[in-house]
């Protein structure tokens, strides 16, 4: 008997947002996320799906000045990371971003940090201009930039599919990743995996 199942996408009105898949968040980087590199091949599959469908793709990147307020030396919480123009700030070399992908630099000023790709950027406007209504969001890190980007996307009125197989957490405290996933789903994000879309 043919199986009837919901088609989750991607379809017209969908956009893919890849959050901060940068060298400094991968093993060996300045602020390595455990297993951060594991998201790369999975995100490449999502990139291929969205590219094949001609749907918009956005890639955010943490893009800090060297004396950024988030660094320990400036009274912040993190080692210096994703410093503008450095190798650590570059997208992971294995990430197969199409040339058409829109790059979104965030937290670029010295005095303000922002974990969300929406804060201080044109992302919301650019997404609406591109006709996006539903955002597929994955990347690094689950408990910081993915969390805040997803919550802001919901506040901006976008539907959100959380790429459960393409996120990894920093887990300063064990359980932070699961807690972040719970907060995102409570905010209305729908968890999806590749096999649900293929």
Residues designated as active site: 20, 106, 145
Q: Which of these ranges, 123-131, 141-149, 160-168, 181-189, lies near ligand VGL under the rule CB under 6 A?
A: 141-149
- What token pair was written down for 74? 């400036």
58 binds, among ligand VGL, Zn ion, none (CB under 5 to 8 A by kind): none
37 binds ligand VGL (CB under 6 A): no
Are 183 and 189 within 8 A, CB to CB?
Answer: no
Q: Where do contacts with Zn ion occur on this chain (CB under 5 A)?
A: 62
- Render the burial of 67-89: b for 16+ CB within 10 Å, e for the rest: ebbbbeeeeeebebbbbeebebb
CB of 185 to Zn ion, least distance (A): 24
Residue nearest to Zn ion (CB): 62
Beta 14-19 vs 159-168: how paired, if at all? unpaired
* Shortest distance in whole angstroms from residue 153 CB to ligand VGL: 15
Instruction: Figure out which of the listed residues 140, 151, 153, 184 binds ligand VGL, where binding follows CB under 6 A.
Output: 140
- The site that binds ligand VGL (CB under 6 A) totals a number of residues, namely 10
Structure-token match 């455990």, residue found = 34
Torsions phi, psi for 19 (to 5 deg): -100, 115
Which residues, 67 to 96, sit near ligand VGL by CB under 6 A?
Answer: 70, 78
- Asked if residue 127 lies in contact with residue 157, where contact means CB atoms within 8 angstroms, the answer is no
Which residue in 36, 45, 12, 53 sits closest to 195, CA to CA?
45
CA angle, 112 as apex, 110 and 118 as ends, to 5°?
125
Q: Is 151 in the site for ligand VGL (CB under 6 A)?
A: no
Tokens found for residue 27: 């093993």
**If contact means CB under 5 to 8 A according to the sort of partner, which of Zn ion, ligand VGL, none does residue 192 touch?**
none
Residue 62 as a binder of ligand VGL (CB under 6 A): the answer is yes
Interface positions with ligand VGL (CB under 6 A): 20, 31, 62, 70, 78, 115, 140-141, 144-145
């Amino acid at each position: 008997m043919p199986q009837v199942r919901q088609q989750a996408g991607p379809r017209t009105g969908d956009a893919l947002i890849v959050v901060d898949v940068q060298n400094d968040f991968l093993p060996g980087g300045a602020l390595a996320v455990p297993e951060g590199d594991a998201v790369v091949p999975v995100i490449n599959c999502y990139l291929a799906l969205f590219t094949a469908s001609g749907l918009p793709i956005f890639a955010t990147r943490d893009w800090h000045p060297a004396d950024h307020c988030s660094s320990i030396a400036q009274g912040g919480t993190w080692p210096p990371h994703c410093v503008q123009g450095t190798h650590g700030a570059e997208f992971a070399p294995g990430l197969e971003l199409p040339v058409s992908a829109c790059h979104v630099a965030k937290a670029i000023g010295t005095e303000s940090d922002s974990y969300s790709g929406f804060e201080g950027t044109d992302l919301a406007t650019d997404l609406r201009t591109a006709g996006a209504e539903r955002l597929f969001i994955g990347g690094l890190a689950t408990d910081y930039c993915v969390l805040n980007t997803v919550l802001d996307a919901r506040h901006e009125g976008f539907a959100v599919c959380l790429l459960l197989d393409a996120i990894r957490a920093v887990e300063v405290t064990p359980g932070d990743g699961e807690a972040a996933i719970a907060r995102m789903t409570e905010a209305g994000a729908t968890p999806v995996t590749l096999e649900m879309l293929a």
